[in-house]
Amino acid sequence: MDADSFCVEDGTWTEWGSLAAPLRREVFVHEQRVPESLEWDGLDPECHHVIALDAQGRAIATARLTPDDHLGRMAVARRWRHRGVGRAVMVRAERVARRRGSRVLVLAAQLSALPFYEKLGYSAYGDVFEDAGIPHRMMCRDLAE
């Protein structure tokens, strides 16, 4: 694998939490100023996690699927943004969701990320709301499409 290569894996928090947690802390707590108490909601052990790793095995992107088909905690390391890593994580998350029988995925998107999710087939609905002081909108995607 060259320096710009990455791979995408999925599994449990036990398997990937030690790599995903520092990335989420970097992106959400440090960059976006989300309070630690909001980032660590206690749901990680019951979720399925998707993680992208660089050639050295470091986490460069992550997301989680809750048992009720919500996708969240999507984070991409700053230097890896706009390089297809986020898209690859989403494709893997959707594959995992389909495999477990999910028909629709729902997510709360930061307004700045709406175009990213729209390109992946997600549709916004409802009013803008704040989560951790950041404006969001709900989005969903029919996985049968």
Residue 47 C-alpha from the chain's centroid: 12
From the first residue on, what is the mean pLDDT of each consecutive set of 10 residues in the chain (145 residues)? 81 97 95 90 96 96 96 95 95 96 95 95 96 94 88
pLDDT for 37: 86
Residue 32: partners with Cβ closer than 8 Å, 6 or more residues away: 132, 134
Give the three-state DSSP class for 18: helix
pLDDT of residue 108: 96
Q: What is the predicted pLDDT for the residue at 4? A: 75
